[in-house]
Structure 1
Amino acid sequence: MTGTKTTVGWREWVALPELGVPYLKAKIDTGARTSALHTFLIEPFDEDGVRKVRIGLHPHQNRSDIEHFTVAEVIDERWVSDSGGHREKRYVIRTELRLGATTWPIEVTLTNRDNMRFRMLLGRTAMAGRLVVDPQSSYLAGEKPSAGKHRHAQDSG
């Protein structure tokens, strides 16, 4: 991809509109090839011959009392190594990511690691050709949407 790249900080507010997530804090992780969404529930099932997964998220950092459930189509299963070298087979989904005013499709692995500080890691594959990371900055794409309560709040960008 050519053209102007957006500069982002090491952490940013993002939305996953197709999954009904108006905002969550993501770590922009240049050390990770693949993006990851941290979930507390991953339930695979088939619907009319299509592999899907029911996902349960705690979209807010340090808040396990707020839950969000959604369903997505599984596009693959992959072995992924974390930063500690542990290998795990993960489901992969494709969904849209909104960062600032821009939305594009990304692939995301699902992992039941709800204890992670960030609910999402945005990896290099999702950033390629689009983003440049300023590691000294945060939230260059915009502050957290002023949604009040998280339930079905309108995403302001």
Structure 2
Amino acid sequence: MALSHLRFGWREWAALPQLRVRRLRVKVDTGARTSTLHAYPIEAIERNGLPWVRFGLHLSRKDPEKTHWCEAPVLDRRVIKNSSGVSEERYVVATTLCIGKFCWPIAVTLTNRSKMKYRMLLGRTGLPSDAVVVPHVSWLQGDPDLGKPSIHEFVEP
């Protein structure tokens, strides 16, 4: 049986090129269904008559005053249960996620993760179907390679 070439550790370095994020620590969590990105504050805006959001990312826990500002079209709004079991309505945006030399489209919810160690949680629906997560290894893919990444088609179930 051949192992998938898409092998990820329980945490990886990622990039979100559409949001101009070149490097971000991500926790890969197959116990979580939905992928989530730290965003604070989140402001609903309108662009050409369509709903968008403007939000700040604090990419480093060590420098919470430094804010990276992003804007993205709203894909949806969903009620999500957080890790404490509390339901909250969150904006959902679509973007591209790059880990190592692989990139694929992903839907992420936006919430304040300032108390969490990782600014992004990659849930199981955000992983390509041929991905293998090696739970006792970190940083298997290395830094995101934004040169000529391979694009995996991915449709969230």
TM range (shorter): 0.7 to 0.9
Q: Does residue 1:61 correspond to 2:22, yes or no?
A: no
**CA distance in 2: counterparts of 1:55 and 1:37, whole angstroms:** 11
TM-score by length of 2: 0.86
User: Are 2:98 and 2:146, in contact at CA under 8 Å, matched by a contact in 1?
Assistant: no
Structure 1 residue aligned with 2:122: 122
Moved over 2 A (4+): 154-157
Structure 2 residue aligned with 1:102: 102
**CA distance in 2: counterparts of 1:155 and 1:119, whole angstroms:** 20
Once the two structures are superposed, what CA deviation does each residue of 1:135-155 show, in whole Å capped at 9, x if it has no partner?
100000114x7xxxxxxxx95
Q: CA deviation at 1:48?
A: 1.6
Q: Which letter does structure 2 place at the counterpart of 1:55?
A: F
Q: How do residues 6-155 of structure 1 correspond to structure 2 at under 5 angstroms? A: 6-143=6-143
Q: CA deviation at 1:9?
A: 0.6
- Greater mean alpha carbon deviation, residues 70-79 or residues 121-130: 121-130
**CA distance in 2: counterparts of 1:75 and 1:28, whole angstroms:** 22
Q: CA deviation at 1:128?
A: 3.8
TM-score by length of 1: 0.86
Q: Report the secondary structure of 2:107's partner residue.
A: strand
Structure 1: runs of 5+ lacking an equivalent: 146-153
Once the two structures are superposed, what CA deviation does each residue of 1:45-64 show, in whole Å capped at 9, x if it has no partner?
11221100001001123320
Once the two structures are superposed, what CA deviation does each residue of 1:70-110 show, in whole Å capped at 9, x if it has no partner?
10000100000112111010000000000100111000000
CA-based RMSD of the aligned residues comes to 1.9
